[in-house]
């Protein structure tokens, strides 16, 4: 019989003063999970994942970048240049 895994604490348990949301308004547009964004000074498009607000900072987590070099990144909300109306980036293989 294997060992029982310990339960990992959630972000809310570790950081109770953080506010995490799946939607945000940027440049007058509602951004939800999967909405594509362009970031100032960064090549490619990024897919929105979540918005985090702490007492001292605020940022968004996204996935994307140059085609074939996508990765998980975080940016300040002010760095968003464009909220795209149509999604052009294909989801990763194996994801629906």
Domain regions of the chain by residue span: 15-83
Tell me the pLDDT tens digit for each residue of 31-85.
999 899 999 999 999 999 999 999 999 999 999 988 888 899 999 999 999 898 8
Q: Indicate whether 2 pLDDT > 80.
A: no
Distance CA 94, CA 6 (A): 29
Q: Indicate whether 91 pLDDT > 70.
A: no
Distance CA 56, CA 50 (A): 17
HSE, CB side, 13 Å, CA atoms: give it for residue 49. 14
Tell me the pLDDT tens digit for each residue of 8-29.
777 667 778 888 889 999 888 8
User: H or E element: which one contains 12?
Assistant: helix 11-14
């Amino acid at each position: 019989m294997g060992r029982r895994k310990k339960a990992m604490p959630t972000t809310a348990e570790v950081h109770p003063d953080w506010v995490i949301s799946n939607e945000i308004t940027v440049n007058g547009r509602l951004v939800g999970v999967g909405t594509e964004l362009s970031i100032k000074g960064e090549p490619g498009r990024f897919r929105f994942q979540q918005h985090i607000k702490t007492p001292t900072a605020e940022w968004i987590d996204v996935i994307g970048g140059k085609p074939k070099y996508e990765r998980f990144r975080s940016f300040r909300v002010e760095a968003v240049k464009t909220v795209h109306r149509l999604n052009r980036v294909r989801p990763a293989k194996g994801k629906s």
